Structure 1
Amino acid sequence: MIPSNFKFMSRIIWMLMGLLVYGSVAQASPPSEKMDSVTVLITCPKASGSGFLLDQGRHVVTNWHVAVMCVNKGTLKVIHQNGQKSWVFLRGYNERKDLAILGLKTPFSGYNAPLVPSNLVQKMDDIWVNGYPGAAFEVADRNTIPEPTSTKGIISRLVTSDRQVKMFQIDAAVNPGSSGGPVFNKLGGIIGIATMKSLTLAMV
């Protein structure tokens, strides 16, 4: 059994919180190239999912249910839209929150994702979901690396689950393959991670 590593996960998340800087003027939408640059495809022979880069491209955050598919068999791979690829290993996880942190054996240098604490997120905020729905079939059929898809929506409700996990209900489309993908606010900060069809885990 692979042990969980909550201290490491907390250290990574709170270390990167210091990198978050907000401008004084709100943007209408975050730049798509910024969102795409931190979004990655997670794939293995069984299925695929999405994730986002942390710690200057040395780690990836995704859902536990995405990572657990193949991580124990050593067949889990992360692919960036620019063509970079890396095998990964499990660095830490929280099954209750459906979160996993993967270490890249070949880091994608230069990439980082700013994280937004949940107390700055409000009902009716605009959000954008990035991910790779159906990407496994696209890669297999065309031998190409697709761009992430982006869908826009709002936060329709703030939710606390029966396991006391903070979540947001969103109206943006979240399709199979998008699980683990980042959810951005209008400033390009990551407020959560797509985990179910209409629910997003709060990032902090």
Structure 2
Amino acid sequence: MPSTVEIVDSFKDTIIQIATQAGTGTGFYLRQYDLIVTNNHVVDNNAEVTIAGKQFEKALSRVWYTDRKHDLAFLQAPAQVQLPEIKLGEYIRMKDGDPVIAIGHPYGLNYTATQGVISKVDRVREGLKYIQIDAAINPGNSGGPLVNMSGEVIGVNTFIIRGGDNLGFALPEQYLRTALDIYAPYKGKPSTRCHACEFLVLPENIDNGKYCPSCGSEVKLPELPKEEYEPVGVSKTIENILKALGKDIKLAREGVNIWSVKEGSAKIVIRYNPENYFIASDAYLCLLPSDGMKIKPLYQYLLQENYHNKGLVLSCQNQNIVLSRIIYDLDLSQENGELLFRQLFQKADAYDDILKKEHGCLDRVEE
């Protein structure tokens, strides 16, 4: 039987980060079906989402299957990427007290794996069985795998009870396996499973474009919108600026009023908070040098550069060196925004090179 460390390590390359305009979540890749599994509430009625993993850069992924009743969704796997194989276990073999590992990797957070035990193997909620666990689950980890001590997926981490002391719930593997087998013959077609009768609705059998042909319940296929999503106000200005600077907006979106882009080896995260009226842009450069003798001259260099830079500030956040700019939203226009962001992007890429070449700073490790 593999160790906990070996189990967690075997999953790192199969855990997928998922982002929409509304938020972030987790998924995992199953090679047997060549699909990414996540929760339906993670994709949030989107037919296309952003995905990223340790073996590939951010990319757009098509949502092929949604299932409101079981809170499942299946996504297109990244093209031309060979990801490791993980296997589905057998939920029926699990029992109360069995040790499990909840794994996730939401955007903006470190890869997380928490160990616990099954509190109740068949907790019934709204007519479905769930695995109740005491392993801590972050809300952003929704859609990640629940793993047994043989390294097999026995559930999909689905929800927590807020205010509860590590009360997490995972959808058992048997529901997931059934959904995968139902969809497998139609892979590559948008589909949804009726929440009332569990009939698989496809473009060729949907009644009048919005009703289940089996029971008549209203359903919604994950179809690409005829019109692209358009933000409003300051968010729209920010996206127009990023477009003008050659950035792919769909890939840049990481949630509500959050964007992330790369410039050279630097990662720039832009956050807009309408409540305090400020746009914060943080360019994550490199890491502090491991040689302690280089720290003091590095700090001196950062302070000297801050004295000369107008509106840009170099700082240290934990081990990261960060170049930041704060903009008051009423001061932002298309023209000055292009100037300010272009300057930030160019300076970030240049500083990253200087700090590594001249001050012994280390490459930043991507999450």
Scaled to the shorter chain, the TM-score interval is: 0.7 to 0.9
| Aligned partner (choices 125, 139, 158) of residue 176 of structure 1 | 139
What does residue range 130-149 of structure 1 map to in structure 2 within 5 Å?
130-133=103-106, 135-136=107-108, 138=109, 146=110, 148-149=111-112
DSSP-derived class of the 1:196 partner: strand
2:61 maps to what in 1? 88
Give the corresponding residue for 1:202: 172
The offset of 1:49, in angstroms, is 0.1
Cα gap change, 1:152/1:162 in structure 2, threshold over 3 Å: closer, same or farther? closer
5+ long unaligned stretches in structure 2: 161-167, 175-367
Tell me the number of residue pairs that the alignment of Structure 1 and Structure 2 aligns.
166
CA shift for structure 1 position 60: 0.4
Query: Residues of 1 paired with 2:78 and 2:15: CA distance?
Result: 17
Q: Which moved more, 1:160-169 or 1:90-99?
A: 160-169
**Whole-Å separation in 2 of the counterparts to 1:162 and 1:176:** 19
Give the conservation status (yes or no) of the 8 Å contact 1:58–1:108. Answer: no
Shift of 1:105: 5.3
Question: Structure 2 length as normaliser, TM-score?
Answer: 0.42
Aligned-pair CA distance for 1:162: 4.2
CA contact (8 A) 2:155 2:171 kept: yes
Moved over 6 A (4+): none
Change (3 A) 1:30 1:193: farther
Residue 105 and residue 53 in structure 1: after superposition, are their counterparts in 2 closer, same or farther (change >3 A)?
closer
Which amino acid is the alignment partner of residue 87 of structure 2? P
After superposition, give the CA deviation of every residue in 1:68-97 in whole Å (9 maximum; x if it has no partner): 25x23x3x1111123433311122122111
Residue segments in structure 1 that go unaligned for 5+ positions in a row: 1-25, 139-145
Please, which of 159, 171, 188 is the counterpart of residue 122 of structure 2?
159
The change in CA–CA distance for 1:162 and 1:44 in structure 2 (over 3 A counts) is closer
Q: Deviations over 1:101-137 (max 9, x none)?
A: 111352532332200121121111111111125x34x
Distance in 2, matches of 1:159 and 1:57, equals 26
Contact 2:99 2:148 in 1 (8 A): yes
Q: How does 1:1-204 map to 2 (within 5 A)?
A: 26-29=1-4, 31=6, 32-55=8-31, 58-69=34-45, 71-72=46-47, 74=48, 76-104=49-77, 106=79, 108-133=81-106, 135-136=107-108, 138=109, 146=110, 148-197=111-160, 198-204=168-174
SS of 1:177's equivalent in the other structure is: helix
- Give distance in 1, aligned partners of 2:156 and 2:60: 22
Separation in structure 2 between the aligned mates of residue 107 and residue 192 of structure 1, nearest angstrom: 27
Distance in 1 between the 2:159 and 2:80 partners? 28
Query: Highest relative contact order (Cα 8 Å, sep 6+), 1 or 2?
Result: 1
Percentage of pairs with the same residue: 27
Structure holding more helix per residue: 2
Query: Is 1:114–1:189's contact at 8 Å kept on the other side of the alignment?
Result: yes
Q: Is the 8 A contact 2:31 2:83 kept in 1?
A: no
Distance 2:40 2:85 in 1: 21
TM-score (norm 1): 0.73
* Cα distance change on mapping 1:57 and 1:36 into 2, 3 Å: farther
For 1:56 and 1:87, the matched residues in 2 are separated by: 21
The alpha carbon displacement at 1:202 in A equals 0.2
CA RMSD of aligned residues (A): 2.1
Q: Retained in 2: the 8 A contact 1:59–1:102?
A: yes
User: How much has 1:30 moved relative to structure 2?
Assistant: 5.6
State the one-letter code of the partner of 1:64.
N
